[in-house]
Amino acid sequence: MTSRDQQRNARHWRGSRLSLLVCLLGMAKTAHAQSIDYNSFEQLFGEPVTTSATGKPQRASELSTDTQIVTSEQIERSGAQSIPEVLRMVAGVNVRRYSMLGSNVSIRGNDAAGGSRTLVLIDGRQVYLDGYNYTDWGGLPVSLRDIRQIEVIRGPNSAVYGFDASGGVINIVTRDPLHENRSYVHVEGGSQEDFGGEFVASHKFSDAFAAKLSLNGVRSDEYAARGRTDTVPRTYALNAALTLRGQITPRTEWTLTGTIDREQNPFWLDLGTYVTSSSLSKSLEGRIASDTSWGLVEFRAYQNSFNSDISNTIDALNMSFPIAFSYNLETTVAQLSDTISLDSRNDLKLGVEYRYTTLDDQHAGTKLTSEYDMLAAGSATWDYRILPQLTMTNAVRLDTLYVPSLRSYTVPDQAASHAHHYIEPSFNSRLRYDAGSLGVFGVNAARGIQLPALFDFSPDTAFGPALAINNPSLVPSTTINVGINYSHPIAAIDGSLTLALYAQRTTNMLGTPFASNFSFIPPTTLTMEPRNYGRVDDAGGEAHLNGKTDFGLSWDLAYAMTAVRDMDKASMINFQRQTPVNSVIGGFSWKIGPVELSAHARWQSHYQDVAANFSTFQLDNVKIHDFVTVDARAAWKIDKRFTLSLSGEQLGSSALKETSGLRIQRRLIGGLTAHF
């Protein structure tokens, strides 16, 4: 190509880029993106874009460094076979992997085997199970290669996302068929007799209608039992999602989404033992958004249903205790919001929400509980550009929760449980200053709220040798968080440096669903009483450095520290002992023509997990020594449609002790992806 041709192409690209910029900025000003075209914005700005925080499009560089966006390209190159394995390589995120499908994910400390304080969403729909306060990571109805990006928000965000976002938020954003026609088939197989695949068919029939069908599944041998008798030899998960998108008018869009998932796997209880879990989850969601003279008005309603059957037999005290527990959790949510551009410097988002949750429990066919709660909330987010370089964002929310008084099905002589009524405010405030060549400085403060699990409000309930006791004094925990952050682009390495420091205090701390709350009274009585555990203090931060070269090599290096001080030393679950203090993450990806090579490694310091001791009905502390996990991937792009890949997971050891449960075995997975 001659220099004249290169100049002509450069002028053409600049002209196209300018036209796209004018078009997209016009979209952002008028409607704040009814459905944001992530792909076009990312190509324009050279970085990811999100609307999660304020309702309007924001570039990743405009966000606090407490927020990190993992792109689809990073997900693909990571070699990870699951979302938790992707998140493991994000600074400030701790992942405990207990089985092939089972993990617990936490953000910035207060780590444990259960009772997560991290709210998880898929396209803004909650998949966090607040009946028992955890996320079923193996049952998320999403195909890994259909994910557009994963937004990780570290720290309390209850004012923006509501109750249960006291530790952080993970929002998984999938591809929008109205803006991205990306269809593919992926098949894979490898270690542990693994066989799985994904099928995504996305088609835009017209400007007014598009559809996407996503199917994926995996079947595999479970990690080696090594003498354990509480696991299952094989595990599987199958799920499907159908999304319909359309326009009623050029300014009004609608979405209808349905999902279903079926899985079976060994589920790790926070009591330190496995049970066999078979679950079925379903969801149905409708959404309509319209750009009106009153702003961008959006109404969203959805219902989640989660059914789980849990079984096992525990041999203890020269007796056998069969477990045949099942529960059905249903959550119905309606949300209405309006995002308004008041003028060139002020944006306002107003919202209201109603939520109704029911939980029905059974043991060996006998009904244990049937309970419900109702939540109503109002919120406001104000984004104010004080100066071109200075922006302030404030979010406030008021939640009110009602849990009625209920009588016990299994202890009829007991009085009815106490009703609970909470009114809790939360806020998130942030000040951002762009100092030009000196970098971007930020300061933030927040008040987060964590609800007890709905099961914790049940009346006195007897099942087998166990007795769950209602606690009338149980209250939500509150977290006050302050932080400072800094980011600076570094032209010499074509990358950037980000820093974040934080300190927080949680009062009326809630324990994990079962382990924190049980006690054993010889000879055979096991009692569980949920309660608050006083105060827990956390402090720490993250540092992240990344760059790339002109010969196709990208690299990143990160460090995170989380120092926890748990005042309740008597609790069986002590968050200070349960949280690793230090972690270091590093990785690279290198594109050489049609070949891509990538690898990531993570080292974390020691921590303590727990394991059930059935001879004493107590929990034993198990020290997990510091360890390194290594994932790698090699891929060959045969042509524009076909890619052949080989991924290695947990390559550092043949069987790594990450928790007190199963050892995580080394895996090699070969895959073929065909785009059409």
Q: Tens digits of per-residue pLDDT, 591-607?
A: 999 999 999 999 999 99
pLDDT band at 285 (very low <50, low <70, confident <90, very high): very high
End-to-end CA distance of the chain: 31
| Strand, helix or coil for residue 25 | helix
Separation of alpha carbons 28 and 44, rounded Å: 13
Cβ contact 532:474 at 8 Å? yes
pLDDT band at 614 (very low <50, low <70, confident <90, very high): confident
Look at residue 14 and tell me whether its pLDDT is greater than 50.
no
Q: Please tell me the number of Cα atoms within 13 Å of 490 on its side-chain side.
A: 14
Cβ contact 593:579 at 8 Å? no
pLDDT band at 356 (very low <50, low <70, confident <90, very high): very high
Q: Tens digits of per-residue pLDDT, 175-209?
A: 999 999 899 999 999 999 999 999 999 999 998 99
Look at residue 540 and tell me whether its pLDDT is greater than 90.
yes
pLDDT band at 22 (very low <50, low <70, confident <90, very high): very low
Q: Tens digits of per-residue pLDDT, 546-583?
A: 999 999 999 999 999 999 999 887 777 889 999 999 99
Alpha carbon separation from 343 to 30, 210, 339, 348 (Å, rounded): 11, 34, 12, 10
Separation of alpha carbons 517 and 428, rounded Å: 31
At 113 the pLDDT is 77
At 515 the pLDDT is 73
pLDDT band at 430 (very low <50, low <70, confident <90, very high): very high
Strand partners, 559: 543, 584
Q: Long-range contacts: 590-596, Cβ < 8 Å, 24+?
A: 590/552, 590/553, 590/554, 591/552, 592/552, 594/636, 594/637, 594/638, 595/634, 595/635, 595/636, 595/637, 596/77, 596/633, 596/634, 596/635, 596/636, 596/637
The amino acid present at 238, given as its one-letter code, is L
Helices (H), 131-249: 158-161
Residue partners of 359: CB distance under 8 A and separation at least 6: 131, 327, 328, 329, 369, 370, 371, 372, 454, 455, 458
- What is the full DSSP assignment across 439-498? -EEEEEEEEEEEPPPGGGGPPSEEETTEEE---TT---EEEEEEEEEEEEEEGGGTEEEE
Look at residue 29 and tell me whether its pLDDT is greater than 50.
no
The DSSP call for residue 129 is: B
> Could you tell me the two tokens for 438?
């000196």
**φ and ψ at residue 20, rounded to 5 degrees:** -65, -40
Helix (H) or strand (E) holding 34: none
Choices 2.40.170.20, 2.60.40.650, 1.10.10.10, 3.40.50.1970: CATH for 64-339+351-364+380-675: 2.40.170.20
Helix (H) or strand (E) holding 639: none
Q: Which of 638, 651, 648 is nearest to 670 (CA)?
A: 648
Q: Which of 51, 20, 21, 29 is nearest to 38 (CA)?
A: 51
At 51 the pLDDT is 79
The DSSP call for residue 235 is: E
Total Cβ atoms within 10 A of residue 202: 21
Separation of alpha carbons 513 and 113, rounded Å: 10
Residue 552's region, left for phi above 0, alpha for psi from -120 to 50, else beta, is: left
At 523 the pLDDT is 65
The string over 130-165, giving b where at least 16 C-beta atoms fall within 10 Å of a residue's C-beta and e elsewhere, is bbbbbbbbbbbbbbbbbbbbbbbbbbbbbbbbbbbb
Separation of alpha carbons 148 and 140, rounded Å: 15
Separation of alpha carbons 465 and 319, rounded Å: 11
The amino acid present at 672, given as its one-letter code, is L
> Could you tell me the two tokens for 515?
């382990």
Q: 440-450 and 461-463 as β-strands: parallel, antiparallel, unpaired?
A: unpaired
Least confident of 1-15, 440-454, 565-579: 1-15
Least confident of 28-37, 223-232, 588-597: 28-37
Total Cβ atoms within 10 A of residue 513: 24
